[in-house]
Amino acid sequence: MSIEPHLFFNGKEFIGFEDMGDASTDRIADHAQVYILRSISGKWKQPIAYNFSRASTTTVDLARIMQSTITKCFEVELIVIATVSDQGSNNVAAINYLMQNTVPVQERHENTERKFFYVNGRKITHIFDPPHLLKGIRNNLLRSNLVWMNENEIFTASWEVIYTVYQMDNMSGQLRSLPKLTEEHVNPDKIRKMKVSHAAQVFSHSVAAVMNLLLTTGKGSRSRWKKKIKPTSSSNSEVLKFFDTLFDSVNGMSIPSANQKRLRCAMSSISGHMEFWAEAKKALKNMYFEDKKSNRKQVPSRNWLITINGIHDIFDILKRSYSMTILRTRVFNQDPLEFFFW
């Protein structure tokens, strides 16, 4: 994260210069990096290391610090299974650097939809923070339509339809069906792009259901909305429903119960996660964002595939090596790191 550059004297030395723990420079730091451990099966979370840098940490430095930190964990008998980060370019570069320098070429070629590396001979799986992945889909949809080639059907989603449905619902006043949605959720000029909850509340079952109802009951034919609502607009609800379920599947904590959403629960051999992910991976590979200006097709973040495969692999390891039968998928995000700075 960015920090305000500042120097102060603590009675012995000046503090505020670039410091990587094992090396320092005379450059004034303006960024901080923090590393936090989180239990997979328990509730504890613990910051364990930090460093200061001038601008973002370089790829080599970040990779070296990650290796060193994980090694220290092994030395005190803490078993590191996975690392989690957002999709920042320096984070991605560091993971790629670690893969290139610790994973044999053949093994990399056989696992192109996975990110992992080795430290002291132990495999570490890398996961991308699911809330950031969901925000990435939302941010891309703000700029380009999403096309989903789903077997014999083609679904096309656009942000314009989402905003129009919000406006239609907003006409109901106090009897709105989507009371949680505000201009900060859907108006491109007012959206708070850093709030994960806003993206999740748009990509939700309730919004998909109301959208499907409004677009199939003829209300969209009102002259005010005719130009924005097309016959294919109901495709939006299918796309929203898909990403709602996908996010649920990587955001579960509790044991399944009858009164909760199907995949908003801990993962197990009978929870349905693996069956859904098999279909979700096919769907993600058949989606693309349509850039009308350049006529270029951009696939949704392949980091969704990496994250799904990573969590699946971790579950297999935990079952085989530690006899774990359930896995709370929500532990694989960087919420503890985000909350650390609040």
Global pTM value? 0.89
CA-wise closest residue to 3 among 48, 39, 43, 50:
50
Angle at 136 between CA 130 and CA 142, to 5 degrees: 145
Where is average pLDDT lowest: 141-145, 164-168, 174-178, 257-261? 257-261
**Torsion angle in degrees (nearest 10) through CA of 74, 76, 79, 85:** -70
Where is average pLDDT lowest: 36-40, 51-55, 74-78, 172-176? 172-176
* pLDDT tens profile 189-228: 999 888 889 999 999 999 998 888 877 665 544 545 555 5
pLDDT score of 24? 85
For residue 170, what is the enclosing H or E element?
A: helix 159-170
